[in-house]
Structure 1
Amino acid sequence: MGSVADCFDNALAETFLATLKTELVYTRAWPSWHELETEVFYHIEGFHNPRRRHSRLGNVSPDTYEKIHHESLTDIEVSGR
């Protein structure tokens, strides 16, 4: 990753955290830190990673993208290219 004072160092993390806060954290009041922590985990593992569409992946979910990618690799292996 970048060097000292590189503006692109934290771009990915900052974008992810901004999205997480907008979609989850700021949507309601959280009665306890533990409840928020648990909900953040389930949001990331249950929605963000497998089902949320990502523009960088052609507006498909990571699960769908991996299936398409795996199928393309399998097609290449089967055809012998």
Structure 2
Amino acid sequence: MSRKGNCWDSAVAESFFKTLNCALIYHRKFANREIAKLEIFIYIEGFYNAKRIHTNIIEI
């Protein structure tokens, strides 16, 4: 962890949530919370993790 006030601590999380919001949330109206949770899960596991693989995760 870095010192208090260091703006780079949450940059990865903020980038992910910006991508999620722009790609999925802002363009849809969900009927209820359960459908929203399912759609977000499908997006993360089906598209985000498959298309945006982190270089440290790739096995050689």
Alignment TM-score, normalising by the size of structure 2: 0.83
Q: Which residue pairs with 1:45 in the alignment? A: 45
Distance in 1 (CA, whole Å) between partners of 2:42 and 2:14 is 20
- Tell me the C-alpha RMSD between the 2 structures: 1.9
User: Within the alignment, does 1:26 sit opposite 2:19 as a pair?
Assistant: no
> SS in structure 2 opposite 1:6?
coil
Distance in 1 (CA, whole Å) between partners of 2:36 and 2:28 is 10
Q: Which residue pairs with 2:4 in the alignment? A: 4
In structure 1, the gaps of 5 or more residues are 55-61, 71-81
Q: Report the count of equivalent residues.
A: 58
Q: Which runs of 4+ in 1 moved over 4 A?
A: none
1:15-47 per-position Cα deviation (integer Å, ceiling 9, x unaligned): 000000000111111111111111111110111
Alignment TM-score, normalising by the size of structure 1: 0.63
**Partner AA of 2:30 in structure 1:** W
More helix, by proportion: 1
Between 1 and 2, higher relative CO (CA 8 Å, sep ≥ 6) is seen in 2
